[in-house]
Structure 1
Amino acid sequence: MSPAGWGALLAFASVVIASAVPLGRYLARVYGDGPAPGDRLFGGFERGVYRLVGVNPAAEQRWTGYATSFLAFSVVSFLALYLLLRLQAVLPGNPTGVGAVDPGLAFNTAMSFTSNTNWQNYSGESTLSHLTQMLGLTTQNFVSAAAGIAVLVAFVRGLARQRTDRIGNFWVDLVRTVTRVLLPLSIVVAVVLVTQGVVQNLAGFTEVVTVEGGSQQIAGGPVASQVAIKQLGTNGGGFFGTNSSVPLENSTWVSNAVQSWAIVVIPFALCITFGAMVGRPRQGALVLAVMVLLWGASTAGIMAAEASGNPRLTDLGVDQSISSALAGGNMEGKEMRFGPELSGLWAGSTTGTSNGSVNSLHTSYTALGGGLATLNMLLGEVSPGGVGVGLAGMLVMAILAVFIAGLMVGRTPEFLGKTIGIAEMKIVTLYVLAVPATILVLTAASLAIPDAVAASANTPGPHGLTEILYGIASPANNNGSAFTGLSSNTTWYNTVQGVAFVVGRWLLMIPVLALAGSLAIKQRVPTTSGTFPTDGPTFGVLLIAVLAIVTGLTYFPALSLGPVVEFLQ
């Protein structure tokens, strides 16, 4: 990687961390038990929402009630979005005259956006109306992200509280997240993007004359407003089919930097929120350090792999060095205005979270670069993961780590003063196994079906296997980015990806909330000289080791047959 690439990575990380710390402290006050910032400004509107939906904001819920509210909201959101997709041809706000979305694709899309995945088996500018983009997709970008943060907050309350079966109110956490966090940040980011040339209007297609004298239709629409929340909410679904590689969606290096920042700032900030809410800032700082280390290592690896270029071209004597006059590196599938290093930085961030937006073509990455992007998702997207769900996953793995440490030293495992027993470990086991089992079973099934294999443009071969593995891992981990090369708008993939959306989102949130309920009711035990500290570097190393071992043992065979073989070739 070039010195400029290292400089860009370090500068970006510094800005993200510097902004994540105050944002995390603000979030802790938003979700605290006392008065919250913004009560005067947002309180009246929020009370109106509670009256509209018939909710008592002062009544807290048990974990079962919280989970029921989460699931009910998700199901209603899915049905509403599905109907909107099917009826968009007869609804207003359709300047381009697009028709109804096919039932299979509507199912896949509605399930994708309500699960915060935003996998897109279509090109938005030619498939969806402006009304669908605004009322359907953009709305889900807000509320699905807010629901993920709400579940995390309930989990943190379970760790922080004792001798109670109450972990908060889902509706209060959901509404506050939208009004006091996501909406204000989205307005600021959207305005910045508009100043950089990102489109924001209600126009349809505009016909222009090209340099050669021909004609071309350029799509317009509410782009900047959707891009802002797609990044801040780690949603990732773009207005255009080729996502943030299109100049109309990501026009300059400034817009690219702002969008890259928006992808990771809230997931990192929530670590500070966690430390503040449990009264142990060092614990939050440790989790943040682990996430930054994992994110930085994978992102630097992807950037270096792409900056090194294609070894086949090097063997042919092609100069792929990076200089002020030459982008260099592996430029296939990348935009000249970003080059291989800024593209790699984006790829590390978007696959390390549940974002999934792209500013380059991941299938054209080198075997090492593409393999690291795939590995990011297979880690469970905890580096730093999506808004809410990433930190929740990291905390579940932390509980697994203290359990393993307890077995090694012969002491009852404890995390933040809560003893970890058989009931908690059963829930952790379910959480850890659900997504890997789904990914491997559905990938194996896809490889056994000739039509599903034929959907890959690069079969037979290791790259084709990676495309299929990526095409299942991305939905299952609620990422949404595509390796491309896989024609996934088929009955088979629309269906199995829908199953993956459910497992990766809804079936993981239930164990998290169950764990919160189980921990909240426990009495905190006093710290003694025999207590294993979980806020120091030793535990940080253990946590990283547990993540690496669990992922390695689970996915090593699949990765060996895909990106590893391709790299060796």
Structure 2
Amino acid sequence: MFTILKYGLYLVVLVLLAIPLGDYIGKIMNGEHVFLSKLLIPCEKMIYKLLRINEKEDMTWKHYGLSVALFNGIGFILLFILHMIQGLLPLNPEGLGGTSWHLAFNNAVSFITNTNWQAYSGESSLTYFTQMFGLTVQNFVSASTGIAVLFAVIRGFLKVKNEGLGSFWVDLTRIILYVLLPLSIVTSLLLVSQGVVQNLKPYDTVQLVEPIKDEEGATVTEQVVPMGPAASQIAIKQLGTNGGGFFGVNSAHPFENPTGLSNLIEVTAILLIPVALCFTFGRNVKDKKQGRAIFMAMMILLVMALGVIGVSEQQATPQLAQVGEVDLSTYQQAGGNMEGKESRFGIVGSSIWATYTTAASNGSVNSMHDSYTPLGGMMTMLQMQLGEVVFGGVGCGLYGMLAFVILTVFMAGLMVGRTPEYLGKKIEPFEMKMAVITCLATPIVILIGSGIAAMVPSVTQSLNNAGAHGFSELLYAYSSAGGNNGSAFAGFNANTPFINLSIGIMMLFARFVPMFAMLALAGSLAKKKHIAVTSGTLSTCNGLFVGLLVFVVLLIGALSFFPALALGPIAEYFQMLG
């Protein structure tokens, strides 16, 4: 019972913070007055003046999409170059050189797509300059891009016989200035108070309490302790559902996540904005029931995944009990499957993080998913494979779920013989095509990418595990890239030309194909007239529709990925049972 209460505490804190934030974001994007307006409006106006942004511009979906493409294309080029020449730049106390071209390509793509897949260890590969002026900047702008596109989609439902979806540049400015920056400053200060490092010092060297032997038998008496501006990057990597880690082992590192309170702060930050946007959606489409319905569908899926992961990790495997020569129930009472988990977080703190980070397109970890039980690891994979619409990334998770909503409305309309409608707009063939592209982009890229990789000898030879678990490691990596997540089972060398290039291409496809499809859908909806609600209109905010939406999301995921999951975690589960 106490364990259930701890899980409940995390969920309650998340929702209580998200509701007022959702109202705040809605006001910001509508240009309404908020408590920060007096301070930030002069800054906003100055930015528009310096960059010659027309605050009243109303872009078509093609113009909006072109702005998104150009902005992210420039970001990619600058970040790629920065990786290659970082050895010549300041803030490099360890004297690190530039990265390989294929790692620079992968990392640049990873951060502009809000994925933050990392085939390197930050403390040994990237300088402070690259982390601060490259990665942290992209954490802000990639997150704000996703939210901006969501609001373009919302305007598509609101506009009547109008092609305009707002200005991408205005949306981008407001999101960064009013939402991401203030939240990041507060979160950074909270993390620093818990002991998360934030400095520009060279790495420190400390004496070990007890000497140890290295792999070659030499005696080691001291250890290098990495430093750096970690707290500032950690705050935005969580709030923007970017993920990744300042240090190689991510938020399992005591300098990134030292205490139980820092764990609560960081894991809540992962889903804070995605949950808030559900309430923002209901507010801004002028029907709060619609936002609550989508929130309930996402929350049901989240709790289901959390239940499977939590129960699976709380149970000891038969092999652990045999090795320890203890009764299985005794081992369960001692804490469950603690392999790969930090004792300061335990099963609850680790399981809730694994659930949140794979529900969002976040990818940061505080435990090693490779060490989870087969069913626990499978649920982390499945959440990404669903398109990360269980709240998902900031902005992209909600517009991805809206594609599933449109698909559900169309199917329900066919069943009752009525023209499908959603929020007063008819759903016709073009909208259905765009929704289907959005829903199927993730399954297509994951299955094709992992299938090709499984046939490449260099990839399979680099796996640390054979059989079902080795396949799970491979499937997880490509599911993470295809879901713009960024976490990893690990277990194999990801920093090779083939993997860096293939995963980079997958990240681009999975990010921008659904994004442009939803912009096209929004542009089509904006040109339509509004249809009045009648007695024959399908309700999209009651319990029946919520249940149908959950069923459709799971159906598409199960049909797409069950064969692959059967070869990996499901096969491993039955092998575990003997």
Written as runs of structure 1 = structure 2, the 5 A alignment for 1:509-524 is 509-524=515-530
Please state if 1:486 is matched with 2:492: yes
Please list the CA deviations of residues 301-357 of structure 1 after superposition, one character each: whole Å capped at 9, or x if unmatched.
111111112221234543566899x75211111111111221111000000100000
Letter paired with 1:239: F
For the residue of structure 2 that corresponds to 1:210, the secondary structure is strand
Q: Is the 8 A contact 1:115 1:478 kept in 2?
A: yes
Partner of 1:402: 409
AA partner of residue 498 (structure 2): W
DSSP-derived class of the 2:225 partner:
strand
Output the amino acid matched with 1:416: L
The amino acid of 1:6's aligned partner reads I
- Residues 239-265 of structure 1: per-residue CA shift (max 9 Å, x gap): 100000000100000000100100011
Q: TM-score, normalising length from structure 2? A: 0.96
- Matches for 1:171-182 after TM superposition, within 5 Å: 171-182=169-180
Read off the aligned partner of 1:181 and give its amino acid letter: V
1:100 to 90, 98, 101: 98
Match of 1:146 in 2: 144
- Conserved 8 A contact 1:152-1:388: yes
Alpha-carbon contact 2:400-2:514 (below 8 Å) kept:
no
C-alpha spacing 1:318/1:503, structure 2 compared with 1 (3 Å)? farther
Partner residue, 2:442: 435
Match of 1:501 in 2: 507
Q: Aligned AA for 1:414?
A: E
Residue 125 of structure 1 is matched in structure 2 by 123
Q: Distance in 1 between matches of 2:105 and 2:81?
A: 10
2:218 corresponding residue in structure 1:
none
Contact 2:362 2:485 in 1 (8 A): yes
Q: Residues 85-121 of structure 1, C-alpha deviation per residue, up to 9 Å, x if partnerless?
A: 1111001111111000111100000100010000000
Query: 1:80 Cα deviation (Å)?
Result: 0.7
Count of matched residue pairs = 565
Counterpart among 384, 393, 398 of residue 391 in structure 1: 398
Q: SS at the partner of 1:211?
A: strand
Q: Deviations over 1:493-546 (max 9, x none)?
A: 101101111011112110011111111111111111111100100100110010
Shift of 1:76: 0.4
Matched residues in 2 for 1:37 and 1:525: separation? 36
Matching residue of 1:454: 461
Aligned with 1:302 (options 309, 312, 318):
309
2 CA distance for matches of 1:20 and 1:28?
Answer: 12
Q: Deviations over 1:219-275 (max 9, x none)?
A: 000001111111000011211000000001000000001001000111000000000
Residues of 1 paired with 2:248 and 2:128: CA distance? 14
In the alignment, structure 2 segments of 5+ residues that lack a partner are: 212-220
Q: Which moved further from structure 2: 225-234 or 159-168?
A: 159-168
- Counterpart check, 1:318 vs 2:326: yes
Segment of structure 1 superposing worse, 346-355 or 33-42:
33-42
Change (3 A) 1:199 1:376: same
Aligned to 1:190: 188
Q: 2:256 matched to 1:249?
A: yes
68 and 469 in structure 1: CA distance in 2 versus 1, 3 angstrom threshold? same
Contact 2:404 2:552 in 1 (8 A): yes
Residue in 1 that maps onto 2:533: 527
Letter in 1 for 2:242: N
Aligned residue identity for 1:29: K
Matched, 1:165 2:163: yes
Give the stretch that moved more between structures: 293-302 or 251-260: 293-302
- Give the distance between the partners of 2:59 and 2:32, measured in 1 at CA: 17
The answer to whether the Cα contact below 8 Å between 2:128 and 2:228 also exists between their aligned partners in 1 is: yes
Cα distance 1:320–1:171, how it changes in 2: closer, same or farther (>3 A)?
A: farther
CA shift, 1:59, in A, is 1.0
1:387-410: CA deviations, max 9, x gaps? 100011111100000000011111
Which has the higher mean CA deviation after the structures are superposed, 295-304 or 33-42?
33-42
Q: Which segment is superposed worse, 112-121 or 302-311?
A: 302-311
Cα distance between partner residues in 2 of 1:237 and 1:179: 23
Moved more, 209-218 or 47-56: 47-56
Distance 2:261 2:330 in 1: 21
- Which of these residues, 269, 274, 282, is aligned with residue 275 of structure 1? 282
Structure 1 letter corresponding to 2:119: N
Question: What is the rounded CA distance, in whole Å, between the counterparts of 1:343 and 1:34 in structure 2?
Answer: 39
Equivalent residue in structure 2 for 1:262, among 260, 266, 269: 269
The CA deviation at 1:291 is 1.1
Does residue 1:560 correspond to 2:566, yes or no?
yes
State the alpha-carbon separation in 1 of the partners of residues 292 and 98 from structure 2: 48
Root-mean-square deviation (Å): 1.4
Q: What letter is aligned with 1:530? A: G
User: Relative to 1, partners in 2 of residues 1:175 and 1:322: Cα closer, same or farther, differing over 3 Å?
Assistant: farther
- Name the residue aligned to 2:44: 46
- 1:327–1:339 Cα contact (<8 Å) kept: no
Letter of the aligned partner of 2:546 in structure 1? Answer: G
**Which residue does the alignment assign to 1:84?**
82
Distance 1:16 1:160 in 2: 29
The C-alpha deviation readout for 1:403-460, integer Å capped at 9, x for no partner, is 000111111000111100011111112212222111111111111111111122112x
> Contact 2:385 / 2:442 at 8 angstroms: preserved in 1?
no
Distance 1:192 1:517 in 2: 41
The residue type equivalent to 1:304 in the other structure is V
Question: Take 1:172 and 1:491, find their aligned partners in 2: how far apart are those partners?
Answer: 38
1:421–1:80 Cα change, 3 Å: same
Aligned AA (1:115): T
Q: Deviations over 1:190-219 (max 9, x none)?
A: 111111111010012101111126211100
Alpha-carbon contact 1:30-1:37 (below 8 Å) kept: no
1:175/1:348 Cα in 2 relative to 1: closer, same or farther (>3 Å)? same
- Residue 367 of structure 2 aligns to which amino acid in structure 1? S
- Aligned-partner Cα distance in 2 for 1:321–1:520: 59
Unaligned runs of at least 5 residues, structure 1: none
- Aligned mate of 1:230, from 224, 231, 237: 237
One-letter code aligned to 1:285: R
Following the alignment from structure 1 to structure 2, what is the Cα–Cα distance between the partners of residues 180 and 209?
A: 45
Under a length normalisation based on structure 1, what TM-score does the superposition of the two structures give? Answer: 0.97
What is the deviation of 1:35?
A: 4.7
